[in-house]
Amino acid sequence: MKVAIIGGGPGGLYAAALLKRLDPERDVRVWERNAPDETFGFGVVLSDETLGGIEHADPVVYGALQRDFVRWDDIDIVHRGVTHRSGGHGFAALGRRRLLEILHDRCRSLGVELGFRTEAPHPDTLSTEYDLVIAADGVHSTTRDTYADVFAPRVTAHRCRYIWLAADFPFDAFRFEIAETEHGVMQLHGYPYAADASTVIVEMREEVWKAAGFDEVTPQESVDRCAKIFAEALRGRPLRSNNSAWTVFRTVVNDRWSHGNVVLLGDAAHTAHFSIGSGTKLAVEDALALAACLAEQPDVPRALAAYEEERKPVVASTQRAARASLDWFENLRLYLDQPPRQFAFNLLTRSRRVTHDNLRLRDAHFTEAVEREFGCPPGTPPMFTPFRLRGLTLRNRVVVSPMDMYSATDGVPGDFHLVHLGARALGGAGLVMTEMVCVSEEGRITPGCAGLYTGRQAEAWRRITDFVHTRAPGTAVGVQLGHSGRKGSTKLMWEGMDEPLPRGNWPLVAASPLPYKPGSQLPRELSRAQLTDIREQFTAAAWRAARAGFDLLELHCAHGYLLSGFLSPLTNRRTDAYGGSLQRRLRFPLEVFDAVRAVWPAERPMTVRISATDWAEGGTTAEDAVEIARAFAAHGADAIDVSTGQVVAEERPEFGRSYQTPFADRIRHAARVPVIAVGAISSWDDVNSLILAGRTDLCALGRPHLYDPHWTLHAAAEQGYEGPGVAWPAPYRAGSRRPQTGRTDAPRPRLSLS
């Protein structure tokens, strides 16, 4: 087999060494346009997981790395003159040039042909002359560009400028330091990579970089200014450059990684922000996986398919974590006023890979100090601390999220709703929310939607709230009021979500006459008189909700339903006073809110659910969402329930664990209003992490409560918590300990003979 490798970075070199080691008969050649010792940056951090893979695949490389590694356990966060240290993290780093030297030596010893200061032939030529072409030519990959129509790359440039520098002394920890300057916030990321040297990355938003004049000075003046700004961290010592230049980070994603016998590896295929230190790690792991797939599969096409199938999910997960970390640093200024230890905890858990529970394992002393500062009583997880909204105090931070059940008859909730909501109230959550309860018959989504537009419906709801208050004392029950708008008159979810009814349709109304998707019913644009009628329907439903005994009312302004349709520029094309600018699009939802607030009891809280992004070009942005939240808060909203999407059918959500939480986080800190985070939050560890970091005030969980109605009780049991933040119903107390299971271990032999 003949193998051509374009790019002599760590990923390309390690792939060359592995392929040659696995089969010495292979003809492996590497082209590198730069000199052997020319590299970007100074130090490389590798995880124990990556090192384990290297040790298993090539002990020679692993041994050489081990001799040069600098190891440390601590992270220092320095903010406003205060340093907080967290231990137990475990890092290993070495110089980039030394890493390249080790890989060069290994490749030469195995017989790999290395060509430096040499441009590789065109990929078309290589793919004809070689059996396999590995494109490891970096973030600016010419190979990727050559076959862009196949790889379908998406390259996103971000908001911060950064520069790689070095200091001639070793930090004794991974150091994050924040500088609040007259021009804006700047941050330093530093870590040792040798006994006498450290990597120093200085980063700031583009507007701060320009305000500070970094766009107008020489490279050396930039270096000197950075050293002056972070003089305390550097102990007054200078910084040095390696032809370093200010740049912006670019996230690279490709739909496909291979084309014929050409395959992408490392930064050519994907990038992950340096704040989680995964660029070299991912490239090395790519090389390991590619070599293994070539050994396991009978031919190159199947090997490349297996490689892509194996690596894509891993990389996507890492990129989600890296994007969360990147966003955190881009929006660092939002967190500056947090209490010092909470700020440090927030930074440490920013990527959602480090959580409350595993940080406790790494450094219990630090985690307990954060909990004390937050106000957790001894032995109380953050999720079981109380939270007050107006006159309502929730005993814990868990909310059963609104979930449409489509099981009402003529809008009347029945035995199913009593059992469904009653079971979840008994399950320990602080607040149990109804599904979207419709304010009119025409405002239903489906024939199975519940309502509050008749006295009979209100009586049925009263039966449910009475059960919750009597049988699950301490649990609050809230109602979510909404109108379907253009997304109404559809089948039950399990019969065809968002599909029009085959018969029995009712007319739809919306902000503008736009169908939800092709084949959907065309709604009528609401007239001024009809807007008044709908506002009165909301107030009548709110009045009935109050008499039915609900503790909290949420106005549904999300997911493309009627009020949401006014907020989004994609669904509101009106030319009157209710369309156009964001302030005009807010007008009708705010009118409805004010009318409902006027009839809703003053001591009971109101929340508003919004879609913080439409996940579609030209739609609601994160900045818009902050302004929407501010507007509702100014009118008296006690909290904003932050969801996303479902506004337009052509949306492209970026799913992932806790994927909507950054929007809630931003609204909480920018609009200074309590928030409810929702969306793929599934573990009590995530809830504790989000609450303690200050990213949200409450966490709403939907599917976990469908899987386990007693999710909150079980979360308490699994954490050994028995305080006032949760209460087992008296008939259930015997089940408050996890049942014993069958034995899974076997007795050890009393005597072993060798």
Strand partners, 664: none
Catalytic residue among 561, 578, 659, 732: 561
In order, the DSSP letters of 604-637 are: S-EEEEEES--SSTTS--HHHHHHHHHHHHHTT-
Pairing of strands 70-72, 552-557: unpaired
- For 383-420, b where at least 16 C-beta lie within 10 A, e where not — what string? bbbebebeebebbbbbbbbbbbbbbbeebbbeeebbeb
Give DSSP secondary structure letters for 629-684: HHHHHHTT-SEEEEE---SSTT------TTTTHHHHHHHHHHH---EEEESS---H
Give the whole-angstrom CA distance, residue 389 versus residue 698.
11
Where do runs of H (alpha helix) occur along 404-472? 415-426, 455-471
* Tokens found for residue 444: 């239903």
Helix (H, G, I), strand (E, B) or coil at 443: coil
Long-range contacts of 519-523 (CB under 8 A, 24+ apart): 520/486, 521/486, 521/489, 523/485, 523/486
List the structure tokens of 503: 């018969």
Catalytic (active site) residue 406: no
Q: How many CA atoms lie within 13 A of 615 on its CB side?
A: 20
Rounded to 5°, the CA angle 392-544-398 comes to: 35
- In sequence order, what DSSP letters do the residues of 462-526 get, joined into one string? HHHHHHHHHHSTT-EEEEEEE--GGG-SB--HHHHTTPBPSS-----EESSS--SSTTSPPPEEP
- Three-state secondary-structure class, residue 393: strand
User: Of 165, 306, 155, 158, whose CA–CA distance to 226 is shortest?
Assistant: 165
Task: Tell me, rounded to whole angstroms, the distance of Cα 557 from its chain centroid.
Answer: 23
**Which amino acid appears at position 219 of this protein?**
P
DSSP classification of residue 732: G
Residue with tokens 């109602």: 479
Q: What are phi and psi of 355, to 5 degrees?
A: -120, 175
| First and final C-alpha spacing in the chain | 45
Q: What does the block give as tokens for 141? A: 């990959």
- Give the DSSP per-residue string, 130-187: -SEEEE---TT-HHHHHTHHHH-EEEEEEEEEEEEEEESS--SSEEEEEEEETTEEEE
CB 700 within 8 A of CB 400: yes
User: What whole-number distance in Å separates Cα of residue 698 and Cα of residue 669?
Assistant: 14
Retrieve residue 729's tokens.
């119903």
**Host H or E run for residue 22:** helix 10-22
Pairing between β-strand 174-181 and β-strand 552-557 as defined by DSSP bridges: unpaired
Residue type, 71: R
Q: What is the DSSP letter of 375?
A: T
Instruction: Answer whether 328's CB lies under 8 Å from 55's CB.
Output: no
Structure tokens at 287: 């090389």
Distance CA 149, CA 94 (A): 38
Catalytic residues: 561
